[in-house]
Amino acid sequence: MATTTYTVTGMTCGHCVSSVKQEIGKIDGVTSVDVDLASGLVRVDSEGELADTEVAAAVDEAGYVLSA
């Protein structure tokens, strides 16, 4: 089990949070996604390590940006 925290920019509402959770949740091995709108922090629990590029692509698909 692995937990990783990312910062996502551009989210402004509950719909944004839902979109990010849905797209990251589609990644193989992801078991849960928790998004804090105020801080932009996204905590992802997964069965193993995730590739940052895969998470960035999911966030991009949702319409937002994964910050470095």
Tell me the per-residue pLDDT of 15-65, one tens digit each, with 9 for 90 and over: 999 999 999 999 999 999 999 999 999 999 999 999 999 999 999 999 999
Can you give the pLDDT at residue 62?
Answer: 97
Q: Record the pTM.
A: 0.93
Structure token pair of residue 61 = 């698909």
Residue type, 30: V
List C-alpha distances in Å: 2 to 7, 13, 21, 45, 47: 17, 27, 17, 6, 6
Distance CA 51, CA 68 (A): 13
Can you give the pLDDT at residue 1?
Answer: 92
